[in-house]
């Protein structure tokens, strides 16, 4: 079986496949509240799982870097357990990792993103890497790539965070993060924090059952090949 994870390779093993490794996939996500129904690591866990699937599709040309488990989550800091870093810290970390990979001959980078809060900063990071550092860089967010498929499956009026979609994806990729007992048929519960309206999502009952994980499976099927195409461009 091909090992795609950089952390799973020895240094000599990485060196031996250097000529074939054309792109590095860097999963990025967040550790933040996702209501009572999902573990707080869902964003980076999903990103890491999707990165592995992308690597398998473009095997043997990709390597998966260990996931960055903390992102820009300042808007969730009122919820216990949430972690967040500044845009400057996130940018520096992503840039330094990309620069390290470039020193080892990998000059194509795809950030496989699992957290919408990272998107705007990733746009700046990838642009800077591409035009200032000569490293071809792009980012891919599954919820954007699979938006058409999601629209065909979603049943909630509001969705996007800890909702039926993320819960379904978690059921398909990392079921250990799903709290079945907390799934309720009420859609989103709005929570007001000063001037900010957040939604602590809870999934509808239908998503408890494995045979109805359709949107999660569809999102995987839709986003993985698109990200793979990005990686192989």
pLDDT, tens digit, 9 for 90 and up, residues 80-137: 899 999 999 999 999 999 999 999 999 999 999 999 999 999 999 999 999 999 999 9
> What is the C-alpha to C-alpha distance for residues 217 and 125, in angstroms, rounded to an integer?
30
pLDDT for residue 230 is more than 60: no
Bridge partners (DSSP) of residue 24 are: 63, 109
- How far the first Cα of the chain sits from its last, in Å, is 25
When pLDDT is averaged across residues 193-220 and rounded to a whole number, the result is 37
Q: Where in the chain are the domains?
A: 6-231
Residue 46 confidence (pLDDT) above 60: yes
Beta-bridge partners for 138: 110
The CA R_g of the chain, rounded to the nearest whole Å, is 18
Task: Determine the average pLDDT of the residues in 3-29.
Answer: 93
% residues pLDDT > 90 (the chain) = 49
Write down the pTM of the prediction.
Answer: 0.82
Helix (H) or strand (E) holding 87: helix 87-103
Give the architecture (CATH level 2) of 6-231: 3-Layer(aba) Sandwich (3.40)
């Amino acid at each position: 079986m091909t090992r795609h994870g950089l952390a799973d390779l020895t240094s000599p093993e990485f060196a031996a496949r250097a000529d074939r490794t054309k792109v590095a996939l860097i999963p990025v996500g967040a550790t933040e509240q996702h209501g009572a129904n999902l573990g707080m690591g869902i964003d980076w866990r999903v990103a890491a799982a999707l990165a592995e699937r992308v690597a398998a599709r473009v095997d043997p040309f990709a390597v998966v870097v260990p996931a960055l488990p903390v992102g820009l989550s300042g808007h969730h800091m009122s919820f216990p357990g949430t972690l967040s870093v500044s845009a400057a810290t996130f940018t520096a970390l992503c840039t330094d990792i990309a620069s390290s990979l470039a020193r080892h001959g990998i000059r194509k980078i795809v950030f496989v993103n699992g957290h919408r809060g990272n998107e705007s900063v990733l746009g700046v990071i990838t642009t800077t890497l591409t035009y200032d550092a000569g490293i071809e860089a792009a980012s891919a967010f599954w919820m954007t790539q699979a938006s058409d498929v999601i629209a065909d499956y979603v049943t909630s009026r509001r969705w996007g965070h800890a909702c039926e979609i993320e819960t379904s994806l978690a059921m398909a990729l990392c079921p250990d993060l799903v709290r079945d007992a907390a799934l309720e048929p009420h859609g989103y519960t709005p929570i007001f924090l000063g001037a900010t309206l957040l939604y602590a999502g809870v999934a509808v009952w239908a998503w408890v059952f494995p045979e109805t994980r359709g949107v999660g499976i569809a999102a995987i099927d839709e986003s993985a090949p698109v990200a793979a195409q990005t990686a192989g461009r």
